[in-house]
Structure 1
Amino acid sequence: MKVSKLAYKPVGLGLGAVSGMLSGALFKQAWKKLGHEEDAPDATDEERTWREVLLAATLQGAIFAAVKAAVDRSGATATRRLTGTWPG
């Protein structure tokens, strides 16, 4: 394994945690803007409809994937600028 790839591992883990927190906050804001309640439904919320539960899950997944990709790409780009090599 390359040293640069090994050195990037902890950075990547940290960025993953940041992207999870950021995507959670963005999802809450998006859910509020869509005119729904404060909290998004869980899959086991008996009072919520299938449509609402699946819409929330789809939106949350899309936001998480986009934020994770943006944060990972930014981290890799910053690593290249600092070290001259692309991690991974």
Structure 2
Amino acid sequence: MSGVQVLYKPLGLAFGMAGGALAGALFNRTWKAVAGQDDAPDAHDEERDWGEILAAAALQGAIFAVVRAAVDRGGAIGVRRVTGRWPG
């Protein structure tokens, strides 16, 4: 493992945690705007139907994937700018 990879591990963890918090907040705001509800359904919510639960899960997954990719890519670019090497 190179020095850049060792440096990137804790930064990647911190970026991931921040990205998770950002994605959660973005999902909650998006769900409220799309569905007009404060709380998104989960799989054990018996008052919600399959369509609503699956739509919420798909939206949440898409938001988390996009935020994770953006955070990972941004972190890697930042490490390259500082060290001159890609943290691959």
TM-score, length basis structure 2? 0.97
**Which moved further from structure 2: 13-22 or 34-43?**
34-43
Give the secondary structure class of the aligned counterpart of 2:35.
coil
Aligned-pair CA distance for 1:60 = 0.1
Unaligned runs of 5+ in 2: none
Q: Name the count of aligned residue pairs.
A: 88
- Residues of 2 paired with 1:17 and 1:11: CA distance? 10
Give the secondary structure class of the aligned counterpart of 1:4.
helix
- Residues of 1 paired with 2:57 and 2:82: CA distance? 37
Q: C-alpha deviations, 1:11-34, integer Å up to 9, x for none?
A: 000000011000000000110111
- Residues of 1 paired with 2:85 and 2:5: CA distance? 9
Unaligned runs of 5+ in 1: none
Q: Structure 1 vs Structure 2: percent identity of aligned residues?
A: 58
The Cα RMSD (Å) is 0.7
Aligned-pair CA distance for 1:35 = 3.0
TM-score, length basis structure 1? 0.97
